[in-house]
Amino acid sequence: MITPTNITNYNRTQEELEEFLLFCILVAGKNAEQTARKLNSFLSKRKDFGVADMTPFEFVKYLDDDKLLLSVMQSEKLGQYRRIAHSFREIIKHKSKLNSVTPYELEQIKGIGSKTSRFFVLHSRPKQHYAVLDTHILRWLRDHGINAPKSTPSKNKYIQLEKQFLNYANEYGILPAELDLQIWTTYANQKIKTK
């Protein structure tokens, strides 16, 4: 099961990468803890269907082939069913290259934007230089005097703000994934650790 407070893992197995990418797609605009539990419940349905040995992507394909994907998603209350089902179907095409797929390639899939693509890459591969501009990061940027919107910006503005976030990470001498996680886990305390 995905643990949102310990999201960075550079040694995921193929099955764990598949689960993490499904989580990245699902969590956009939602509570991370609840989404992790719902995804876990969704994937546990493999046992009910007698296919417990399938990987997450194989299970999605299995459900889709039997025209059951939407109904199982609805039974688990995953939300945004059409967008997510479409993204789930399309992401399977990248199964063989989850260790190397680029944010640009992921963004070619309808329903996957800059934030989702970068979230997957940043927290599954070491030394990546991207920013996941979620509400926490955007608020942190505003608190640092940067004109950042309250929700994820469009592509050009995203790239501009990403550069500013990466400059802060560089200035603090930490990887972007570390700064991202520090902001996400400690922002409520208004204390961001820097080196």
CATH of the domain at 93: 1.10.340
Residues 150 and 79 in one domain: no
| Mean pLDDT score, 114-126 | 95
Question: Which tokens hold the place of 188?
Answer: 């409520």
Asked if 112 and 16 sit in the same domain, the reply is yes
pLDDT higher than 70, residue 5: yes
Q: What number of other Cβ atoms are within 10 A of residue 6's Cβ?
A: 9
- On average, the pLDDT of the chain sits at 91
Asked whether residue 73 falls in the same domain as residue 111, the answer is yes
Separation between Cα atoms, residue 25 and residue 116, nearest integer Å: 6
- Cβ neighbours around 144 below 10 Å, total: 12
8 and 69 belong to one structural domain: yes
In a domain, 40, yes or no: yes
The pLDDT score that the predictor gives to residue 6 is: 85
What band does 4 get if pLDDT is binned at 50, 70 and 90?
Answer: confident
Residue with the bigger pLDDT between 184 and 44: it is: 44
Residue range(s) defining the domain that contains residue 71: 4-122
pLDDT digits 0-9 by tens, 133-184: 988 899 999 999 999 999 999 889 999 999 999 999 999 999 999 999 889 8
User: Tell me, what's the pLDDT at 187?
Assistant: 67
Res 101: pLDDT: 95
Q: pLDDT higher for 129 or 5?
A: 129
Say whether both 107 and 170 belong to one domain.
no
Mean pLDDT of 26-46: 93
Rounded to the nearest 5 percent, the helix, strand and coil shares of the chain are 65, 0, 35
Give pLDDT tens digits for 52-75.
999 999 999 999 988 999 999 999
Residue 194 lies in a domain: no
So what's the pLDDT on residue 30? 86
Where is the domain boundary, 90, 122, 154? 122
Please report, rounded to a whole number, the percentage of residues in the chain having pLDDT higher than 70: 95
- Residue 71, both tokens: 């109904």
> Would you say residue 193 has pLDDT above 50?
no
